[in-house]
């Protein structure tokens, strides 16, 4: 098809051969073999030159279409093999500072527009199960996580934890608080099974290792927790970046005095199912994090 289109467009075997980078006798033989295969002459050859036959004229637009399709197919396979196209399923953890995950995900989308990046949101334990089941390719999680089932996790940042208290609470008048200030307060909290690593890390750092305050109310996420605080059901702990985005009326957010409690943010994936596209995303994330070091996300909360 490629040889035929070259001769049809040049209407000269010599020019077509030079265009194709092959010898003219070889091109002539290929065209004759093609005509025998089709059972019809494609060119009229005489002293005046070369012209298309009616069969050749009918074939030319279809041949161009075939070549365009073949080129598109080659490019599609190459881009998938290079991790520059395809479907990437990414799990976002709701507690993460959106500025960091947004920079990594949106930056990847801009760099590789042919990739279909599909986002879902959930908690760490759910993402672990979805990675193991092959329902996600990569996920933002709160380490430590279980590394069974072939999971790999890399910590990419640490985020500050802040306290959220009712706006009329005496602690709301302070610029910063300590864990001891909250120890006697009822705690609005979330289920440990959503993310055991983060659950333990936050409580251990704020109240002391193994110390657990009285929980007055359980809520599934930060939104529910902050609304419960606004209603006077107790105090809670939230990652600073998440608190700055939610800003629920009736809630005062206060930083901790040093040492400031922090929780890690990580990227997890199933190492035994690494695809070129997943490896491309991980290399992009590595490059972004190296170029703009963000090992500590400590957003100012006013």
Give the CA dihedral 240, 246, 249, 252, nearest 10 degrees: 0
Nearest alpha-carbon partner for 125 in 226, 198, 200, 225: 198
pTM (two decimals): 0.69
pLDDT at 83 over 70: no
Written as six digits, the tokens of 112 are 């590789």
Computed over every residue of the chain, the mean pLDDT equals 88
The pLDDT assigned to 277 comes to 87
Q: How many helices (H) and strands (E) does the chain have?
A: 11, 13
Count of CB atoms situated within 10 Å of the CB of 252: 19
Question: What whole-number distance in Å separates Cα of residue 198 and Cα of residue 95?
Answer: 10
Nearest alpha-carbon partner for 264 in 136, 124, 167, 82: 124
The pLDDT assigned to 166 comes to 97
254: helix, coil or strand?
strand
The pLDDT assigned to 219 comes to 95
Q: What does the pLDDT look like over 17-59, one tens digit per residue?
A: 999 999 999 999 999 999 999 999 999 988 778 999 999 999 9
pLDDT at 86 over 50: yes
The pLDDT assigned to 6 comes to 94
């Amino acid at each position: 098809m490629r040889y035929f289109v070259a001769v049809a467009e040049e209407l000269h075997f010599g020019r077509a051969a030079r265009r194709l980078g092959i010898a003219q006798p070889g091109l002539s033989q290929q065209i004759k073999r093609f005509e025998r295969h089709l059972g019809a002459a494609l060119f009229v050859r005489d002293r005046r030159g070369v012209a298309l036959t009616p069969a050749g004229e009918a074939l030319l637009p279809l041949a161009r279409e075939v070549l365009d399709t073949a080129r598109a197919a080659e490019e599609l396979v190459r881009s998938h093999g290079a991790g520059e196209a395809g479907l990437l399923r990414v799990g976002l953890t709701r507690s993460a500072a959106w500025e960091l995950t947004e920079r990594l995900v949106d930056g990847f989308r801009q760099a590789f527009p042919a990739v279909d990046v599909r986002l879902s949101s959930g908690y760490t334990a759910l993402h672990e199960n979805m990675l193991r089941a092959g329902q996600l390719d990569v996920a933002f999680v709160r380490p430590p996580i279980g590394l069974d089932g072939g999971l790999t996790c890399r910590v990419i940042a640490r985020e500050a934890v802040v306290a959220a208290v009712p706006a009329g609470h005496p602690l709301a008048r302070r610029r910063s608080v300590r864990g001891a200030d909250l120890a006697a307060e009822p705690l609005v909290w979330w289920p440990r099974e959503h993310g055991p690593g983060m659950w333990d890390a936050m409580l251990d750092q704020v109240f002391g290792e193994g110390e657990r305050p009285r929980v007055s109310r359980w809520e599934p996420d930060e939104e529910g927790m902050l609304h419960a605080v606004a209603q006077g059901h107790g105090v809670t702990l939230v990652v600073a970046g998440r608190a700055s985005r939610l800003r629920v009326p009736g809630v005062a957010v206060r930083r901790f005095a040093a040492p400031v409690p922090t929780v890690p943010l990580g990227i997890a994936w199933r190492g035994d199912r690494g695809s070129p596209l997943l490896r491309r995303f991980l290399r992009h994330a590595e490059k972004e994090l190296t170029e703009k070091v963000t090992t500590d996300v400590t957003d100012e909360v006013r």
